[in-house]
Amino acid sequence: MLSASLQRLWHKLGSPRWFVALTDGWVKALGWISLVLLIWGAVWGLGFAPADYQQGNSFRIMYVHVPAAMLAQSLYIGMGVAGFIGLVWRMKLADVALTACLPLGMVITALALFSGSVWGRPTWGSWWEWDGRTVSTLVLFFLYVGIYALREAIADQDLRARASALVAMVGTVNIPIIKYSVEWWNTLHQPASFGLTQKPAMPSERWLPLLVMVLAFYAFAGFIVLVRMRTEILRREMGARWVREWLQAGGPR
Amino acid sequence: MVGLMRREWQALLRARGAVINPVAFLLLSTTLFVIAAPGTVSSDAAAGILWTLVLLTQLLALDGMYRRDFDSGVLEQTLVNAEVPFVAVLTRIFMQWMSTGFIIVFIGPWLGVLLGLPVAAVPGVALGLGLGTPALSLLGSIGASVTVGFSRGGVILALLVLPLFLPTLIFGAGLVEGAGLGRSVMPEVYALSLISLLALAIAPFATLAGLKISVEMQ
Amino acid sequence: MYFDSFADLLQMGKHGFYVWTAYGTTALVLVASWLSARGAFVATTRRLRQQAELAQRDAPTTHSTENNS
């Protein structure tokens, strides 16, 4: 009984029409939630969290840098998972999801790199360091650009989807390998790099705003990805009757 | 499989340029470094420089890996007709390594000496190149399979493949550096072997998938 | 509030430039992402409506026969 309804759910998940109908109601709400969380987290982190006695006030950049870096990686892994699902189950929505994650992923990775650099300058004295996290994020950016370039080069939609899925999957496997290998390299070449890799335990007044900001960023990403997915579905299914009916029934509510 | 190997070997002999050019590039680029930037000639920089040049050489050699068969239609036929396309891909990758990595294992250490490595490090460097270059051929094959249909695929190939090369570069350079300093390189040996094994597990399947996609693009 | 005055908030104890650059860029990126996504959606729905109107205009006969029967 359970497996039958799960199967039905799985089939529904593959249906673009069902997806648009399902998300009609609460995409906007997600957007508002993410806005509230963003403002709440930013205000808390900027104005109310106690300053770090070593780093001073520059640590507040953490409240935008860390969520951005986390999101950058999550979005790529999301693309990899979407690619896998698309290749194995031939789900149309999978490539739609991959398409939706790509632009946001690229800019968020660039933001993570930029904010990390801005954080590094006053805190540790340099705009850039070669350690596990910076190199991983930099390579992540190139992984995004690679998929972008690949997609631009392939005209056929189905082939583009399969090629992106393949590259995204391989890239996803690569991410932890790169992180580990750079960190290993660091233990040989930078034996005493404090601050870059060590994270002293944070009091709750300092990591609670971070939690809020992480939730905020992820909610925002969910919002953007859903909007882009809906756009892409409508674009692809433009001639379909259900689209016309959906429009007539009021369209985006 | 033996028949395949023989055919590949014959194709290799015919396309001698494809073998000589990458090797020539490696020799040339190393010479460039030594001539133009003598300050970099030191055992510190030698490991990284050598491996980076090996990577770039591999990138050059990858471009034509499937292109000739793609253009002539043989690729499509092989994917459809071959009993086990997987074996065909594996054979091609192996021959690609024979024409690049294999040769580099022998000449690379001496280029390393040119770049400043101590002669005592030569066996270690050879080991590192021997363990690492298969990964380059395997992983590079994935990128080559997806971009074979592109007219200017070289840049996209580089973009896709260099991130895959990075772990091998790091551990390979680490091994060469360790060999130069005389310390134990067992961690690097393990890591390089692991990466090559992982590449062996993934690359043929991924390459096959990529080739199927590219063939449909024609 | 951690800071004694608004001026202190802006200053961030001599790190003000960095903190506000980071936050400002973040805000810019997020807003731009939203506008871009929203713009694409609005443009697509607009095109869809235009297409639907064109389709209706090109096929008036079906409607009239339906009304008659």
Per-residue pLDDT averaged across B7-19, rounded?
73
Give domain status of residue B60, yes or no: yes
**pLDDT above 90 for A198:** no
pLDDT-based confidence at residue B165 (cuts at 50, 70, 90): very high
- Tell whether the model's pLDDT for residue A114 goes beyond 80: yes
Per the DSSP assignment, residues forming a β-bridge with A56 are A52
Q: Determine the pLDDT at residue A197.
A: 46
Looking at per-residue pLDDT, the higher value among A51 and A81 belongs to A81
DSSP string covering A136-188: HHHHHHHHHHHHHHHHHH--SHHHHHHHHHHHHHHHHHHHHHHHHHHHHHHHH
Residue C60's pLDDT is 64
Any idea which residue has 């056929």 for tokens?
A: A156
User: Is A56 strand, coil or helix?
Assistant: strand
What interface predicted TM-score (ipTM) does this complex get? 0.90
CA distances, A27 to each of A218, A221, B116, C42 (Å): 14, 11, 61, 14
Residue A87 token pair: 């290749």
| Mean pLDDT for the stretch of residues A122-151 | 91
Give the pLDDT of residue B36: 85
Tell whether the model's pLDDT for residue C22 goes beyond 50: yes
DSSP code string of A18-50: HHHHHHHTTHHHHHHHHHHHHHHHHHIIIIISP
Strand partners, A52: A56
User: Residue A203 carries which DSSP code?
Assistant: P
Asked, for residue B218, whether it belongs to a domain, the answer is no
Cβ distance C48 to A104 less than 8 Å, yes or no, reads no
For residue B182, the enclosing domain spans 2-213
Q: Which residues of chain C have a CB within 8 Å of the CB of A235?
A: 44
pLDDT for B159: 95
Residue B168 has a pLDDT of 96
- Looking at residue C69, its pLDDT comes to 46
> Distance between CA atoms of A197 and A124, rounded to whole angstroms?
12
> What confidence tens digit (pLDDT) does each residue in A13-31 have?
778 888 898 888 889 999 9
Mutate to test the interface with A, among C8, C11, C23 (most CBs of A within 10 A): C23
The whole-angstrom distance between residue C18's C-alpha and the CA centroid of its chain comes to 28
pLDDT above 90 for A221: yes
Which one of A57, A107, A122 has the shortest CB-CB distance to C29? A107
Sign of the torsion formed by the C-alpha atoms of B24, B27, B31 and B37: positive
Query: Taking CB atoms and an 8 Å limit, are A153 and B150 in contact across chains?
Result: yes
Q: What is the C-alpha separation between A80 and A169, in angstroms, rounded? A: 4
In the predicted structure, residue B138 carries a pLDDT above the cut 70: yes
Give the minimum alpha-carbon distance from A2 to chain B in angstroms, rounded to a whole number. Answer: 34
Domain count, chain B: 1
Let me know if residue B43 belongs to a domain: yes
Residue A194 pLDDT exceeds 50: no
Q: What is the pLDDT of chain B when averaged over all its residues?
A: 89
Question: Is A220's Cβ below 8 Å from some Cβ in C?
Answer: yes
